[in-house]
Amino acid sequence: MKPLLLSLFCAGTLSAVAGSFDRHCVPCHRKEGVSLRQTFMNALLIYSGEHNMKAGLKYFLYHPSIETSVMGRTYFRNHRLKKPSSLPEKEMDAALDEYWERYKVIGHLK
């Protein structure tokens, strides 16, 4: 019984990390009507590089502010700023990795 529990737990944590983006980010964005493609392109315009972007977004998601947002001031005229995330750092990193992989430009130009 023990090994099964252990393996279930392991699988649980693994899958928790593996699908992090789809579970923690997509639903809320869908609900809020904020396109994750659009936010990605906006972020690219500001952060440029992969690591720079991940670090920048991570900080923003934990400490959102209008000044550091990539959405632009006009967006906040009729939208609210999001709440600070309470996602554990490990899952945040995994979500951002997936986010990058899914929307990145490198390798998708012809």
Partner 1 sequence: MLIAQKERMIDYAAEQVRRLKRLHEAFPRRNRYPRDPRFRSAIYDLEYVQIFSTLRDNRVDFLRDIYRTGGYIHFVKLLDSYYLGAKYLFIEVPENHEWWTRTLSRILIAGLVSGVFLTLLGIYLARLFVRPMRRSIELLDDFIQDTTHEINTPVHTILGNVEMIDPRNLSDRDRRRFERIAIAARSISTLYEDLKFLTLEQDRPLQEERIDLAQLLEERLEYFEILFRTKALRLHRDLVPTVLRADRRLIARLIDNLLSNAVKYNRRGGRIEVRLRPGVLEIVDTGVGMSPEEIEEIFERYHRFNDTEGGFGLGLDIVRRITEHYGMRIEVQSNKGEGTTMRVYFDAGETERREK
Minimum Å gap between C-beta 104 and partner 1 is 8
Rule CB under 6 A: say whether 87 interacts with ligand HEC: yes
**Quick check: 97 and 88 in contact, CB under 8 A?**
no
Rule CB under 8 A: say whether 7 interacts with partner 1: no
Judged by CB under 8 A, the chain residues 22 through 81 that form the site for partner 1 are 37, 41, 44-53
Helices 89-103 and 2-18: crossing angle in degrees, nearest 10, is 50
Rule CB under 6 A: say whether 29 interacts with ligand HEC: yes
What's the token pair of residue 28? 């809320």
